[in-house]
Amino acid sequence: MAQASLPFIEVLYEDNHVIVVVKPINVPTQEDDSHDPDLLTMIKQDLKHRHGKPGNVYLGLVHRLDRPVGGVMVFAKTSKAASRLSDAVRTHSIRKIYTAVVNGRPKQPQGTLKHHLLKDAKTNMVSVVPAGKAGAKEAVLDYTVTDHAEGLSRVRVELHTGRPHQIRVQFAAIGCPLVGDQRYGAHLTKPGQQIALWSTELSFEHPTTKETLSFTSKPPKAYPWFLWNEQS
Q: Which of 66, 87, 120, 181 is catalytic?
A: 66
Q: How far apart are CA 42 and CA 75, in angstroms?
A: 12
Q: What's the per-residue H, E or C state across 162-216?
A: CCCCHHHHHHHHCCCCECCCCCCCHHHCCCCCCCCEEEEEEEEECCCCCCEEEEE
Query: Does the active-site annotation cover 120?
Result: no
7, burial (CB in 10 Å: exposed 0-12, middle 13-18, buried 19+): exposed
- Active-site amino acid positions: 66
